[in-house]
Structure 1
């Protein structure tokens, strides 16, 4: 279990190894689209009674995630409709925990059972593991970059966004946690975020925020600002938001924003977002912001290379 970051809500539950109901639905959909009537090649070349073991091996170094989603695939594959095509059930054993750092050649887990079933489930299992592990691995790289640059004694969180693949949000946000990051809201209802279009439609940043706070005073709220003038206005509100997002600020303006926050509303968290890359994020982290938001953690992560070797 990951402890999360006490400054932000809803982090700890994502660190637990479990099989959420959304993974069951995801596993069912993934099996249906890939398995169909069975693998023509496997069914033609592998003897019906053959049993064996497939070792899941990391081909590259990274951080493992998606183990529980892979397990959900095998649970769903044991249902009669799928098991009839597969010719039996497969067990996933010897797995490393989500969040484990692996090197090339390390074993991530093993699939055991009828060889026909192991080979037909290979890709669905690997799709879960490689995608989630890619997100976790990329997140870990960002965490390392900000940790190296943050002021001594100050932690800068790496946060994701709602820029997730449809149906994969929980898988991807859990992977961010396994990589050491801190997730933003999971949906539009559990937290509030006043963005630029809300500001435009709502008559200005302060009016938009006040309207949100009046309607939903209980919600954690983050307000996006485009410049220092908007930041000053938001920080001057009697009941300011928990967090302010500094959208496309320069490093210099970010440093000034941190100073303004310290003078006007020291309890408000500041987050940098927009145009951040691994090459430059350290400069922003060094200013003393509390977090950086990186949509690319989920929408642009390359899969971690994990393969299956039949032994």
Structure 2
């Protein structure tokens, strides 16, 4: 799996916003009331289930934003598997600081490790093929960067980060523009040579028209059954990148990967992954 990281400065605004939301106007009033400032502790982030780790970099940032004097040691890095009961991180320092950052650190670590774990399960189903697993823009508003980073930690790949990254012509674009030919001709007239073009099709006759007109780099096969996907790959014959999408549940991944598609995209990786159970223990 990948050990992808981003500079802390890119992730800090997301973590800072979460801390400000959690600390509210007056900070952690429970900890302030019951924990003396001079009490020091060692705490551990422990995995309570098997999975793929993500969010350790973000957890470290959370602890250090609350208290830069805390000592944080990461034992299992992002992009590494973990076993139930394994210690992922050790935090030493003021107990009050650790407690104030705990929930934000755990929220990120659990959620992102869940996404990484689900991605890893999808990737495992593609073994023996050249198919790659990729996410979509179906992300939590404000958390796209970190959720897509978690997909990388699970061994997957990233689709567009924003609407400005590439031209992706969907079914509604085709309907509004007047058909496949019309939308591709309009794209040819408007697109920079630096911009990739992907077009969604849900029927083989649409794909045939795409191949005839030209102008697209990627064919997105939407909600096709497996035999139709296989036929579409034969039609393309290597002239375009082929991506399969729609109803890409874990149970289908192996058979879809075997059709010869280049990518399999699933929004579930970022919108439906179960949180990995991670706890903080003093």
Same fold (TM over 0.5): yes
In structure 1, the partner of 2:250 is 278
Distance 1:106 1:18 in 2: 26
Q: What is the Cα-based RMSD across aligned positions, in Å?
A: 1.8
Query: What secondary structure does 1:15 align onto?
Result: coil
Q: Which structure 1 segments of 5+ residues have no match?
A: 3-13, 79-87
Query: What secondary structure does 1:236 align onto?
Result: helix
In structure 2, the partner of 1:137 is 117
* Aligned counterparts, 1:225-240, within 5 A: 225-238=201-214, 240=215
- Match among 119, 123, 143 for residue 103 of structure 2: 123
Task: Tell me if the contact between 1:89 and 1:117 (Cα under 8 Å) persists in the aligned partners.
Answer: no
In structure 1, the partner of 2:23 is 35
Task: Tell me if the contact between 1:270 and 1:291 (Cα under 8 Å) persists in the aligned partners.
Answer: yes
* Aligned counterparts, 1:159-238, within 5 A: 159-217=134-192, 218-238=194-214
Task: Tell me if the contact between 1:54 and 1:111 (Cα under 8 Å) persists in the aligned partners.
Answer: yes
- Match among 17, 42, 67 for residue 53 of structure 1: 42
Q: CA deviation at 1:90?
A: 2.5
Distance 1:176 1:38 in 2: 33
Q: CA deviation at 1:96?
A: 2.2
In structure 2, the partner of 1:10 is none
Q: Which structure 2 segments of 5+ residues have no match?
A: none
- Match among 146, 150, 169 for residue 126 of structure 2: 146
Distance 2:152 2:123 in 1: 11
Question: Is the alpha carbon distance of 1:61 and 1:282 closer, same or farther for their aligned partners in structure 2, counting shifts above 3 Å?
Answer: same
Q: What is the TM-score with the length of structure 1 in the denominator?
A: 0.85
1:293 is aligned to 2:281? no
Distance 1:167 1:95 in 2: 28
Q: What is the TM-score with the length of structure 2 in the denominator?
A: 0.94
Question: Is the alpha carbon distance of 1:75 and 1:116 closer, same or farther for their aligned partners in structure 2, counting shifts above 3 Å?
Answer: closer
Distance 1:108 1:204 in 2: 53
In structure 2, the partner of 1:85 is none
1:227-282 C-alpha deviation (Å, 9 max, x unpaired): 000001111234x42211101111111111011111xxx23111111112111222
1:68 is aligned to 2:48? no
Tell me whether 228-237 or 168-177 shows the greater mean CA deviation: 228-237
- Match among 227, 236, 242 for residue 217 of structure 2: 242
Tell me whether 166-175 or 34-43 shows the greater mean CA deviation: 34-43
1:85-111 C-alpha deviation (Å, 9 max, x unpaired): xxx742321342210100011111111
1:261 is aligned to 2:250? no
Task: Tell me if the contact between 1:156 and 1:291 (Cα under 8 Å) persists in the aligned partners.
Answer: yes
Distance 2:82 2:137 in 1: 28
